[in-house]
């Protein structure tokens, strides 16, 4: 909302932030009082017109529920202040939210299977919320934080960045781009290694299959020889028995 209003008319944003322009006059006894509408000159009408435009910009950006909350406000500044309390809470609530988000920031870590962009999206969500509540980080603080939360497998890359670059000069876009490039290279190498390992495993399985086939063939040969020898022995015994019976006759 703030960016939208500033883009439309920065002077209107200042009216919303600091308060309305009020036509004043000095009475005969030296007191300063508000002018009545019938006393306005061209300049005062322009002034009041800007106040009305500022309120209009706020009204058009709100839904029905939000409008009900600020419908009784007189000036654009009153509307803005009411919205701030509604969305950010009182100072006490705001401080509690900051403390909660700071704890999330301090405990933030990158998952082992998480990509750099996924991690950065989660990280940015926390820092943007803190920024909206008035907690601002320098770019160097954010860069150092991200380097600290990378997994141990990234230690070599972190050391290389720390040694090669001035951390107070590197931008967040440059850091994330650098890490994404390294991530792509790592994934490519991992895929090649996995493919190679699968090829080796397949070759071993094929060799083991051949060995098993050889063992099966050898076993069948042994069984056949055993069966053949047994058959031959039985035939020999049978012939011997016949010859013996013939001699007896």
What are the C-alpha distances in Å from 53 to residues 43, 48, 111?
15, 9, 49
Domains of the chain, by residue range, sit at 2-88, 89-249
Q: Is the pLDDT of residue 43 over 80?
A: yes
So what's the pLDDT on residue 62? 83
> What is the SS3 assignment for 28?
coil
User: If you search the block for the tokens 């967040």, which residue do you land on?
Assistant: 172
- State CA 246 to chain mean position distance: 100
Note the pLDDT tens digit of each residue in 166-222.
888 889 999 999 999 999 988 887 676 666 666 666 666 666 665 555 666 667 666
Residue 126: is its pLDDT beyond 90? yes
For residue 55, which of 87, 78, 35 has the smallest C-alpha distance?
78
For residue 81, give the H/E element and its range. Answer: helix 76-88
- Render pLDDT for 53-98 as a digit per residue (tens, 0 to 9): 988 888 888 888 788 888 888 888 998 888 888 877 777 888 888 9
Radius of gyration of the chain (CA): 43
The answer to pTM > 0.75 is: no
User: Is the separation of the CB atoms in 15 and 51 below 8 Å?
Assistant: yes
Are residues 142 and 172 in contact, defined by beta-carbon separation less than 8 angstroms?
Answer: yes
Report the candidate in 138, 122, 140, 127 with the shortest Cα–Cα distance to residue 98. Answer: 127
Report strand pairing: 32-34 vs 24-26.
Answer: antiparallel
């Amino acid at each position: 909302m703030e960016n939208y209003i500033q883009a439309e008319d920065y002077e209107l944003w200042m009216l919303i932030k600091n308060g309305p322009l009020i036509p004043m006059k000095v009475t005969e006894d030296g007191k300063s009082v508000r002018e009545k509408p019938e006393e306005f000159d061209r300049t005062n009408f322009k002034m009041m017109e800007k106040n009305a435009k500022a309120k209009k910009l706020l009204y058009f950006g709100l839904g029905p529920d939000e409008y009900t909350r600020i419908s009784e406000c007189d000036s654009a500044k009153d509307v803005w202040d009411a919205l701030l309390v509604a969305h950010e809470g009182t100072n006490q609530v705001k401080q509690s939210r900051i403390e909660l988000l700071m704890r999330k920031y301090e405990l933030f870590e990158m998952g082992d299977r998480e990509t750099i962009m996924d991690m950065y999206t989660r990280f940015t969500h926390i820092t943007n919320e803190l920024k909206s509540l008035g907690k601002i980080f320098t770019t160097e603080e954010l860069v150092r934080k991200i380097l600290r939360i990378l997994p141990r497998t990234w230690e070599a890359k972190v050391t290389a960045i720390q040694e090669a670059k001035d951390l107070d000069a590197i931008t967040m876009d440059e850091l994330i781009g650098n890490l994404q490039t390294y991530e792509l290279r790592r994934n490519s190498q991992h895929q090649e290694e996995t493919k190679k390992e699968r090829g080796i495993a397949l070759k071993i399985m094929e060799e083991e299959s051949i060995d098993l086939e050889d063992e099966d063939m050898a076993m069948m040969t042994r069984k056949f020889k055993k069966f053949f020898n047994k058959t031959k022995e039985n035939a020999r015994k049978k012939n011997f028995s016949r010859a013996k019976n013939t001699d007896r006759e």
